[in-house]
Amino acid sequence: MQKLFGLFLAVILLAGCSPQAAGSELVVAIPTDPDGFHPHQSVAAASAEIAFNLFEGLVKAAPDGSIIPALAEEWEISPDGLTYTFTLRQGVKFHNGRNLTPEDVVYCLTRLADPDLSPKARDYTGVQRIAAQGNQVVITLAQPDAVFLALLTEFGASIYPKEVEGELSTKPIGTGPFTLSAWEPGDSLTLAKFPQYWNPQLPKTDKIILKIIPEPTTMVNSLLTGHVDLIPRLEPDYLHQVEGKSTLQIIDSPMNLVQLLAINNAVAPFDDLRVRQALNYAVNREEIIQGAAWGKGTPIGSNLTPAMGAWYKDLTAQYPYNPEKAKELLAQAGYPDGFSTTMYLPAPYPLHRNAGEIIAAQLEKVGIKVRIKVIEWADWLEQVNRDRDYELTVVGLTGRIDPHTMLNRYQSQSGRNISYFASPEYDELLVRGLAETDHEARIEMYQRLQTILAEHAANVFIMDPSQIAVMGRDIQGWSNYPVYVLDLAPLSRTE
């Protein structure tokens, strides 16, 4: 029986802490508003990255991609992989002052797994029973699920008090190191230290102001003039403006984000494999990485990145840049003179807008005329992400701890499958991958899934952009994660 303990983590945190400066405050620049803070409803990465500081689940992700204790100080997994027993920490309080109970965990996770209440329930269909036993929560699965523990690290599995259900989207109440003390949409969010946080060594700073600055130029100017202390994700176009500044430090790390030209496989002419393959041959990844990301990115050929280690399969050679081959395929598909299409680009993300403009120029060389429409993020979430009413778009799909949660969006019936990709072999392999207990066999399965996506030219997979964090030289405690979060609790300013 597997048993994991959180004591070592507490020892490390206690040993590594330093006194907190009284009245300390940091200003962090972010490009867009969250779409709300209800763990079961929110879909925007902008929400999850902030919610990491407000909510906690039973377990959470660590910077190295491992899974560590959060509200559960330890857990056991039965030998058959069907029963998970979590022992809760003592003395954990919600932001409203009430103690955390096992019943809170049962309520939140039961609701999360209910398809009538939660759009995220699709990931929890194998949950058979959730019950409280003393200070423990026991979750029983219908069949082994290799990704289940990793799913519990995600925003959707956050625990909150039942009594705040109706107001949770705008007034989040969790157990995290910060509370949301103010939110002025379009301007800022203010996070305040939660004095009753279960780890008394965190957070290191009393107040964090998340300043919403959509324009990167304004963001950089705010950093240079001292109005902002930290830009977690600097657009690479602006790197040259901060390099060599003695007052700043730059931390460059893999982002584990899949940037892609998403293709709606269900609409003509993109329902023809030859057309999708033509797009792949027509796109020059290296030109995009240099032109849109200033060389700060790693080319990819499917829906995983090298940051995923052994799970990743390098498929960048599947479609080498070959515009003549693209023209041949278009002619075979009945488009010798090309065709016209529309590409939607999300306004708050210059990296995706710049990549889209470069791609449009590349496609024009093979006869595909692209109309670009830049739309606001809320409109993109509604039209493209929810309604899947589009032909082409450029966006980034955030990384996860386990490859299944990055690849199951292509399951034919998934609501996250914005590409309308469909493959019986793919669907079957996803199911087998969840039940597989042999690690090496599971790696082989997920590498095959990546290969299927490439062979079917589901999308044009471009790159994993680098995450470029820029901050004052006096800021310490920054950590980059392989998932899309901002860990603000360890940040502090040196005296």
376 plus 297 within the same structural domain: yes
Average pLDDT of 344-373?
Answer: 96
Q: Check residue 7 and give its pLDDT.
A: 36
361 plus 485 within the same structural domain: no
Q: Residue 462: is its pLDDT beyond 80?
A: yes
Q: Residue 8: is its pLDDT beyond 50?
A: no
40 plus 69 within the same structural domain: yes
Question: Which tens digit of pLDDT belongs to each residue from 150-175?
Answer: 999 999 999 999 999 999 999 999 99
162 plus 266 within the same structural domain: no
Strands (E), 142-247: 178-184, 188-193, 207-212, 230-231
Residue 460 within a domain: yes
Average pLDDT of 444-469?
Answer: 97
Q: What is the DSSP string of 311-351?
A: G----TTSS---HHHHHHHHHHTT-TT-EEEEEEEETT-HH
Q: Check residue 1 and give its pLDDT.
A: 44
Q: Check residue 12 and give its pLDDT.
A: 32
Residue 203 within a domain: no
Output the average pLDDT for the chain.
Answer: 92
**Cβ-proximal residues to 268 (8 Å cutoff; 6+ apart), any chain:** none
Question: Which tens digit of pLDDT belongs to each residue from 95-104?
Answer: 999 999 999 9
460 plus 486 within the same structural domain: no
Measure the CA angle with vertex 139, ends 136 and 145; round to 5°: 140
Give the range of the structural domain holding residue 333, as residue numbers without chain letter.
Answer: 257-466
The continuous run of DSSP H or E covering 77 comes out as strand 72-77
Rounded-to-integer distance, Cα 238 and Cα 220, Å: 8
CB 174 within 8 A of CB 158: yes
Using CB atoms within 10 A of its CB, is residue 388 exposed (0-12), middle (13-18) or buried (19+)? Answer: middle
Residue 316 within a domain: yes
Average pLDDT of 467-473?
Answer: 95
Q: Which of 315, 304, 331, 332 is nearest to 280 (CA)?
A: 315
Q: Residue 2: is its pLDDT beyond 90?
A: no
166 plus 30 within the same structural domain: yes
Q: Check residue 23 and give its pLDDT.
A: 60
Average pLDDT of 116-139?
Answer: 94
Q: What is the CATH number for 396?
A: 3.10.105.10
Residue 51 within a domain: yes
Alpha helices in 270-423 (DSSP H): 273-282, 285-293, 323-332, 350-364, 377-380, 404-407
Rounded-to-integer distance, Cα 23 and Cα 207, Å: 8
Question: Which tens digit of pLDDT belongs to each residue from 373-411?
Answer: 999 999 999 999 999 999 999 999 988 889 998 999 999
Residue 263 within a domain: yes
Buried b (16+ CB within 10 A) or exposed e, 304-335: bbebbeebbbebbebbeebbebbbbbbeebeb
- Which tops the pLDDT comparison, 4 or 339? 339
State how many domains the chain has. Answer: 2
Q: Check residue 282 and give its pLDDT.
A: 98
Q: Check residue 123 and give its pLDDT.
A: 86
Rounded-to-integer distance, Cα 114 and Cα 104, Å: 16
377 plus 483 within the same structural domain: no
Confidence category of residue 19, pLDDT binned at 50, 70, 90: very low
443 plus 325 within the same structural domain: yes
Residue 196 within a domain: no
DSSP state of 362: H
Question: Which tens digit of pLDDT belongs to each residue from 42-59?
Answer: 988 889 999 999 999 999
Average pLDDT of 260-285?
Answer: 98
Tokens found for residue 482: 């392989």
405 plus 315 within the same structural domain: yes
Q: What is the CATH number for 131?
A: 3.90.76.10
DSSP state of 93: B
135 plus 273 within the same structural domain: no
CA 383 to chain centre: 20
φ, ψ of residue 471 in degrees (nearest 5) = -150, 165
CA 237 to chain centre: 22
Fill in the amino acid letter for 78.
S
Give percent above pLDDT 90 in the chain.
83
Rounded-to-integer distance, Cα 437 and Cα 445, Å: 12
Residue 190 within a domain: no
425 plus 489 within the same structural domain: no
Residue 240 within a domain: no
Three-state SS sequence of 118-141? CHHHHHHCCEEEEEEECCEEEEEE
Pairing of strands 207-212, 25-30: parallel
Question: Which tens digit of pLDDT belongs to each residue from 192-248?
Answer: 999 999 999 999 999 999 999 999 999 999 999 999 999 999 988 899 999 999 999
Q: Residue 17: is its pLDDT beyond 60?
A: no
296 plus 158 within the same structural domain: no
